[in-house]
Structure 1
Amino acid sequence: MNQKKSITLTTTFVGLMCGFVLTQQQAAAAATNAPDPTATSMVAPRGTATAKSAEPTQEEQSVNQQTSTQKAFTSTDTVNETVNPNQTSRTQSTGSSTTTTAEQTTTVNNNTTTSAQPPQGTATQNTATISSVNSANEITQPVSQPTTPTAPQAIKTTNSTNTASTTTDPQVETIAQGTWGTSKWEYTHQGDDYILHFHEGTFGASSQKTIKDPNSSYLQHTVGSIGASPEVFNGNWQWIEDLTQIIIDPGVKANQDSSYLFEYLNNLQKIIGLANLDTANVTNMAGMFEDYQGASLDFSHFNTANVTDMSWMFAGYQGPKLDFSHFNTANVTDMSWMFAGYQGPQLDFSHLDTSKVTDMSEMFKDCRELINLDLSHFNTAKVTNMYGMFNDCQSLTSLDLSNFNTANVTDMYDIFRDCRNLTNLNLSNWDNDNITDMSWMFYDCYSLTNLNLSNFHTTNVTDMSWMFHGCSGLTSLDLSSFNTAKVNCMESMFSGCSSLTSLDLSNFNTANVERMRFMFGYCQELTSLDLSNFDLSKIEDIDSIFISCQNLNHLILGPKTEFKYVYLPKVPNTGTRLLGTDRIIASPYWVATSGYQQGHKYTSNDLMELTGRDQVTTYDWDSKPAFTQTTETKTKVRTINLHQPNGQLKTETQTVAVSRPVTINPDGSKTYGAWTTAQW
């Protein structure tokens, strides 16, 4: 009986003590679960963030093992408690110091697993599940309810694991977490890195957003899906700027539309697990890595078999050398702007299939460091748009485009603009029958000395404005194959071609041209111009067509070449030497040397206002030879006396002529050459 009472008292005492301990634990948990007053809700930007995943070091493994043992000692039961919806963290205090919010890290046999809690505002069962111990070294995985968050949850979490002798370093601060599509993610701060970690699931839809730069009063930036998506960064500038790493777990699938996925993540240093990203169903990769500046990208497992759009894909790329040799581009139709702004000396296109591509516009625009381009494998049979394709490739010195099929191309606007070191270009085999726009085509190619356009067919071209502007290295141009019947604009077509000495445009049909403003402006070396076939009946603007053509001294004009209000430089003063000749100005006039009113003289203004010309007429500056060449001759006579054997005297007279050249200078002075030699 006494023994039973003793047992009863002991049991009662133990029960009271257990109740007391449990009450203290609940009180401590309630205190810990109070909302963190320092946690702030941040507006999520449009970019995506990734978490950093690394193999644990030996020291970390030791720490994790000790931590696991401590946690295993904490509780032997599963306790379910109702959690206040406003609470963002939950602490279970059991000897080791552990603070957890929004995610609970559990170490199992030295492996780290993460379970993300649903964001605030999500309709889920508010139940927290505490792990139970199965053995001294094993902890069961906590079970979380499925959630469908609509926006990222801005939270603050600090995870630190302490033991008597070891502390994990660095601490992990969870800034936000959420779900994009079906892929859960968390954005964390670890040491110097801000990491966005994506877990198994499918990414959400593509998006872009223009946000204001908080450091500028006027700058705005367009950010891609990770920075723009309401389910990820939602335009949060600070998160976009801070992001340094993205981690992609196995099982992550890219959205069918993955355009602008990693666009404008300026400080992103690396994408870990890019090979894990399943792109098998992707059809749109436009702008996917635009502005990327980080470490090299591993595309060895990238599946691009279904992709049709790669426009802007690597625009502004400033990372290491690109290796896309594994790309399957058999279905790609759009490669416009694909490498625009790429910062590198070379690209390898030997494996790129372009057989279905229709748009190559601005494909290499602003590739200013590109010095070599081998496009011998390019199939351009279906390409219709090549405008600006090589625009501003300032370091290119040569381009072999002999294999280009341009039969279907309609637009070549800007195609070689600002290729400032290109010296030679042979386009004689190009089929241009469908091209309508050639404006700005060779603009500022000032190193170009040889341009072969001998078979250029321009039957359907309507715009040739600024076509050769600034080609200051060209001394001649053969445009005899040009058909200009449909052209309506020739503004500044040859302006700034300062080394051109002559132009034969006698085959030009200008019946439909409305604008010729500055057409030959600043062609300072131009001396001869054949405009005999020019029809100016539809001209609306011809202002300054000959401005700064101060050496133009030979003009061939036709019956329909009537100028109005055109400034033609004045003929120089008498005695001025004609450029490249031995002639000088005889009088400051133009003279009709053939054709209409032959022999008549005109001032420059009179010639531009002349009407009634009914035939092709040649006009030249009134000039004469700069020097008069004559010859001065002298004769020498000598007498020879011959004494013959018979005693008679015979006399002979010999004559020899010598001469020397004489130049009479414009001032009347003479310059003498050397006398010739003569033999008696």
Structure 2
Amino acid sequence: MNSRNRSLLISSAVAGLVCGVALTQQQVKAATENPVASSEKVVEVQAPGSKTEADTSINDTNGLTDADANSSNSASGNEENSSTNESTEVDKNVTNSQSTKAKQQVSTKAGQGSEVIDQGTWGTSKWEYTREGDDYVLHLHEGTLGSPSDISDENCRVGVGVLQLNENFRNQLTKINIDPGVIANECSNGLFYGLTKLTSIEGLENLDTSKVYSMYSMFKDCSSLTKIDLSHFNTSIVFEYSEMFRGCTNLVSIDLSNFSTPPELGGPSTIDMFDNCISLTDLKLGALISGDAFEMFANCTSLTSLDLSKFIMPTGMTTGMFKNCSKLNHLIIGPNYTSLINTKLPIPPVGTVIPGTNKKVAAPYWVATEGYQKGQLYTSEELVSLEGRDQVTIYDWVSTDQTAKESTENKAVTRLISIHLPNGGLQNVPQSAIISRKVYTYEDGSVDYGDWTTAQWDAYEVPVFSGYKPSSKEIPAQAVTGTTVDQTVDIYYTPAKQVVTIQYLDKGKIVGTQQVSGEIGEKIKPNYEVPDGYVAVCPPSTITVNKSGNQIVKVNVKHQLVQTSELKTLTRTINLHLPNNSDQVYSQIATITRLVTEDKVTGQKTYSAWKTAKWDRFEVPKFAGYTATSAVIAAKTVTSTSKNEVIDIYYTANK
């Protein structure tokens, strides 16, 4: 096991031990609480993949007995006992982050331009995840934040804080808003770890860190953050800062001026604290005591100046503390910065230009420009291991002011926009941007160059041709730097779908429209959608699409007329009252008709005249010895004014 992993293991074990002891106390108190009061205790729900507090206690104490845990707890001091008791009280009301599947998913408007995506409670702090324009925002409200969930990262254990609340935070969350009254968890390992799209944290000054003992990996891999002001942080009991800002590759400024450590806590670990902060140029450190500082500033390749005047560095592992800090040429060191070894403090080759100046390195040494042994030269190892420094001292690379002839070099970088016109022609639009840099020619013939300035190719709006679609509507503006090369952008046109509007006209009045589409010159056969109640009058069988962009085809329509027949039935009933006192009934049916014409647009109906029908002549049956009241019932024409008739025939005996 190498020294770095050994130190990280020790730091993690210490943090885990404290977490485990605190949980053991909470469990003991819970076991002795009044049963009624205990029944009101809220169960804490862990996020997916996280361990319960009981699991953490068991694993992190590495099998310690209760007696061992109590012994460790009593040795931790009154501050830790107080912190643990407060944690126990908070535990009565805590509900941790719920799993992604168990969370209430909502999609409602939370206000003008704000949409709630997710929400829940972490610890006792309620939170909402919203979309506000282009930003995805996490709002943390008053209460104590929940505990981290452990995951594996680079063969080590790392805490995951807000990332456990929603799986989309890693590549989506851009902003965090912290309300007054938000209290950081005692163990804030990885509180903002892995939020790669996070660009700002508003209300960071509201976060109460007075009870936090570990900030391990707190901002690790927040690769989109550019500035962090932690001057309001209370770090009075923090003993773990390892990897706190590791991988914050775009972080330019960090203010830790209020960070301090009481001497009784010894030296907190600062292993890899700023590792790979490759953009960091402005770092303010307070009266921070450091124990192990393995690769603390490693790969801070933009850092040119570092003020360690308040930094307290007792004996500890400092291997690679300044590894790859290739531009670090100005150091301010105080009397409490004691002997260090193997820090890999850089000194570049003679002749190297010192960043931000016209000076060059004259010798591979540091020089005390102010303070202890002013004017004395040191190698890098001599400087960091120097003993007896009794005052704040400034050290710089040994340099020389060479007389240099300054000139300016200009470079034109061109973007050629080639527009391939619909008619086959070609139109070229050149865009030129001029950038420049300083050139320093020294007396010895050597030449140094300053940084190229930047310029811009403006956005270009592509010409519009009716009936055609360009491959791009706009060519965006583009920054031009020293690495930008000439380029050509080709724009091509393809026939665009044209919309043809069909207007349906009833005596010149538009009663309906329909839209069809096709390419210029295309003959399309429309499926006419004539308005209800109308029929088209000689519509064109095909439509040739033109390039006007507003083609209108007019189709005349007329009212649809539907004819039906109306029937009316009339009956003449003939009742024969026979001599034998029985009855016979004859029915004569006559049906008359007329035509009904309905206008399907207006619903109006027109009627033709009724046709006539006829009841036929009826011969009354004869019976010997009897005479009927009528021998014949005459035929009769039935009209629309006719009514049903009943005729009775009686028989009387002849005398």
Coarse TM-score class (shorter-chain normalised): 0.3 to 0.5
TM-score normalized by the length of structure 1 = 0.41
For CA contacts below 8 A with separation 6 or more, give which structure has more relative contact order: 1
Structure 1 or 2, whichever has the larger Rg, is 2
Q: TM-score, normalised by structure 2?
A: 0.42
